[in-house]
Amino acid sequence: MSGDQVKHIRAPFDDITARSLRAGDRVLISGVILAARDAAHKRLMETLDRGEPLPVDLRGAVVYYVGPSPAKPGQPIGAAGPTTSGRMDAYTPRLLDQGLRGMIGKGYRKPEVVEAMKKHGVPYLAAVGGAGALIARSIKKYTVLAYEDLGPEAVAAMEVEDFPAIVVIDAAGGNRYESGQALYRRL
């Protein structure tokens, strides 16, 4: 894909969409993505550990690792920048087993997470850190689905239109962090 092209995709992801994305692709996502951070992920694991059903269906879901700031009057959400994805690494393989089809955050993922992504055909996308106010413009509706007591770390559905992201690790294991750094090591 050339640097000027942007793929328009829909969330939740189906298998074809998830597997078609390549490291380096720039995308604009429309549809519904889930918001969840550390505390929500911990609660999801506790629910699975008890053998109970999750409060949300993860089949096809794309999760954005975000804890938004409070919304200003008339806005659905405040600033919505990504949080560091590595904090969710301990939980990610089990959630992929539950049908999670995409993740959006920032930063590296552990090798065992990348292996689980390849096993399930799931891409990892990055949102630009520090651009939370700009990203929030693409979020049209924010609805808490579970763990309301967690405030900004609750699980929520976000209706998005042209949410900007870059595929950094694709479903085949292509890794833009590694390939991008390799270019500079050769210089």
pLDDT of residue 100: 98
pLDDT of residue 178: 77
* Amino acid identity for residue 169 in this structure: I
Q: Terminal CA-to-CA distance of the chain, rounded, Å?
A: 24
Q: Which long-range contacts (CB under 8 A, 24 or more apart) does 109-118 make?
A: 109/85, 109/169, 110/86, 113/89, 114/169, 114/173, 114/175, 116/92, 117/169, 117/171, 117/173, 118/171, 118/172, 118/173
pLDDT of residue 177: 82
pLDDT of residue 130: 81
- Strand, coil or helix: what is 153? helix
State the burial class of residue 71 (Cβ atoms within 10 Å of its Cβ: 0-12, 13-18, 19+). middle
pLDDT of residue 2: 46
- Strand, coil or helix: what is 108? coil
Pairing of β 102-105 and β 62-64: parallel
pLDDT of residue 1: 47
* Amino acid identity for residue 3 in this structure: G
pLDDT of residue 129: 81
Task: Report the chain's C-alpha Rg in angstroms.
Answer: 16
Tens-digit pLDDT string for the chain (187 aa): 445 699 999 999 999 999 999 999 999 999 999 999 999 999 999 999 999 999 999 999 999 999 899 999 999 999 999 999 999 999 999 999 999 999 999 999 999 999 999 999 999 999 988 888 899 999 999 999 999 999 999 999 999 999 999 999 999 999 998 766 666 665 5
* Six token digits for residue 165: 């992201």
- Strand, coil or helix: what is 187? coil
**Run of H or E including 85:** none
Q: How far is CA 154 from CA 45, 67, 78, 149, 166, in A?
A: 14, 8, 15, 7, 24
